Structure 1
Amino acid sequence: MFRVRILAGAPLAAALLALSGCSSHWGCTDTTAERGEAGVRVQVENTSGQPLGVTAEVVDWRLEPHPQVPSEGDRVHFHFRFVGADEASGPAVDACAVDKNRVALGCLTVYSSQAFGPDGDPTGDDWLDVEHPEQVAEVLLIPNDQSYDRRTCEQDVKDGGGLHPPRSAGRGDQL
């Protein structure tokens, strides 16, 4: 009879442990969103692939020495624009200089907050350092919002997990 009482209380104990956060990783899963199609002008999308109502575009780019380190040679200086973004907490996308085969030569993440100047123009600029600047054919943006990166299961079993942005693009990635 004592054994029956223990078995009857087991589901309740398991439920209490799960609710208290003392359970193992059973309920925590990490998944990564698919990388969107890179382009000169993209609709920024959340981790579910839904548009955020923000457009990001490369306005122009050129090869030139960076004014702070001109002795290091040419870098890719590009201007970008975010239309529809919030000045304080908007999205971020990866920008990549690519060769004629759309292989990334260098990438970095640009934030919409970088694009708000004193006159309210949503245009900003940045520099990409690439090993062979003469191979750059264009600068592309990847539409996935990189600004939202929730905690992983490894970092926090209780509150982590869920859908994460794709890994940031890097040198050698095919776009």
Structure 2
Amino acid sequence: MLSARILAGAPSALVILALSSCASPWGCTDTTMERGEAGARVQVVDTSEQSIGVTVEVVDWRLEPHPQVPAEGDKVHFHYRFDGASEASGPGPAVDACAVDKGRVALGCQTIYSSEARLEPDGALTGDEYLTVERPEQVVGVLLIPNDQSYDRRTCAQDIKDGGGPHPPKPAGVGDRL
């Protein structure tokens, strides 16, 4: 027979279990956002596809050897500019930058972060990067993907209790059509 003390505590235990149901597998969901339209100048969007008030643009690009490894041949050297981003601590907004061919197929990509850029007198953050591509002669431009890649929330698979929610699209890679 169950004691009166155990029966009296049962409703409290049920309430605690009901409130902690967010830890159950059916309470954790991941949502991956669709990749936005790539361009040489883009408005950065968050995981709810809303503009965060930051614009990024490719200022220029050219093929040239990296000065530290000239023997490796031509790389895609591009300059970029973040407008509306602050120098605040943390990674800041980040977008994928890709060298593309005439069919807008990515030949090489990497993520660029506003926090790695230099502050200009006009308040913009600017920087430059080198992209390695297998066939530099095929490059016709450098495009940016507007989805903010700086948001790194844990997935349900990584942490069923605290993970889940919206995530940026998978980073762009070689062969992706932009």
Query: How far apart are the structure 2 equivalents of 1:22 and 1:33?
Result: 22
Query: Any idea what SS the aligned residue of 2:19 has?
Result: helix
Q: Is the 8 A contact 1:21 1:158 kept in 2?
A: no
Q: CA deviation at 1:20?
A: 4.2
For structure 1, the residue ranges without an aligned partner over 5 or more in a row are: 3-8
Q: CA deviation at 1:11?
A: 8.2
Query: How far apart are the structure 1 equivalents of 2:28 and 2:92?
Result: 28
Partner of 2:146: 143
Instruction: Describe the shift of the 1:165–1:22 C-alpha distance in structure 2 as closer, same or farther (beyond 3 A).
Output: closer
* Larger deviation, residues 73-82 vs 10-19: 10-19
Partner of 1:165: 168
Determine what percentage of the aligned residue pairs are the same residue. 73
Query: How far apart are the structure 2 equivalents of 1:10 and 1:28?
Result: 27
Q: Is the 8 A contact 1:91 1:112 kept in 2?
A: yes
Q: Is the 8 A contact 1:33 1:47 kept in 2?
A: yes
Partner of 1:5: none
Runs of 4+ aligned residues of structure 1 deviating over 3 Å after TM superposition are 9-15, 18-23, 117-121
Q: CA deviation at 1:114?
A: 1.7
TM-score (norm 2): 0.87
Q: Is the 8 A contact 2:59 2:80 kept in 1?
A: yes
Query: Any idea what SS the aligned residue of 2:130 has?
Result: strand
**Root mean square deviation of aligned Cα:** 2.5
Query: Any idea what SS the aligned residue of 2:16 has?
Result: helix
Instruction: Describe the shift of the 1:15–1:107 C-alpha distance in structure 2 as closer, same or farther (beyond 3 A).
Output: farther
Query: How far apart are the structure 2 equivalents of 1:164 and 1:122?
Result: 25
* Larger deviation, residues 112-121 vs 96-105: 112-121
Partner of 1:49: 49
Q: CA deviation at 1:101?
A: 0.3
